Amino acid sequence: DIRAPSTALLRAAGWIVHDRSEDEAFMRSLYRPVYTDSEALSLGRRWVANNSVQRRADGWATYFKFFAWQAEEYDRVFLVDLDVQFNGPPDSVMMRLAAEETRPFLASAERAQRQYLGLNTHLALLAPSNRTFHELLRRAQSGDYIPYTNTEQDILESMYPGEDFDGKAALSRIPHLHYVLPFHTSACARTSLLRAA
């Protein structure tokens, strides 16, 4: 929920705020977490053995990131999670990267405890597309992805494999640290919208 005082503060600081709080019930209705191989088998879901699946129950909150694909008035959108801290002004590097990149999506590839190369979407660059937005929702609702984080990352990995959409080198040019909060939150709190020059 973005409350009025928080919204006013964000806007005063120059943020573009699109309050989607009214969509919480819808996002929750899409959520299809799977935690075990027997559960996946009984539901007819995809599964990878020995994948150390996370037992998160809050992954629906990360689905709010999908709304960034509806921002078609922008050439590129940067998604930035709440637990990211910029170590310097990111604007010029972000604008340059947005202008240079031709792939429709970019995030940092990582294996972590997966049995395959996946993505970490704490900082991601995307090309808005309403068509992609609807495909992301379809995959979420149908469970058409391999469960690992039980968040939006799994759905994004099903569309954008880590080996093809790895932007770790490019994104590392943006001066930032990840996991800087005393707790790790699943909700995307900040979305920077940039028009490529």
**pLDDT tens-digit map of 30-68:** 999 999 999 999 999 999 999 999 999 999 999 999 999
Q: Which residue has the higher pLDDT, 167 or 73?
A: 73
Percent share of the chain, pLDDT over 70: 89
77 φ, ψ to 5°? -130, 135
- Stronger pLDDT, 75 or 189, i.e. the higher one: 75
In order, the DSSP letters of 13-71 are TT------GGGHHHHHHH-----SHHHHHHHT----TT------S-GGGGGGGGGGGG-
Tell me, what's the pLDDT at 10? Answer: 77
Question: How far, in Å, CA of 116 to CA of 148, rounded?
Answer: 10
| Residues written for the chain | 197
| Structure-model confidence comparison of residues 179 and 162, the more confident one | 162
105-110 and 190-194 beta bridge pairing: unpaired
139 contacts 158 by C-beta, under 8 angstroms: yes
**For residue 6, pLDDT beyond 80:** no
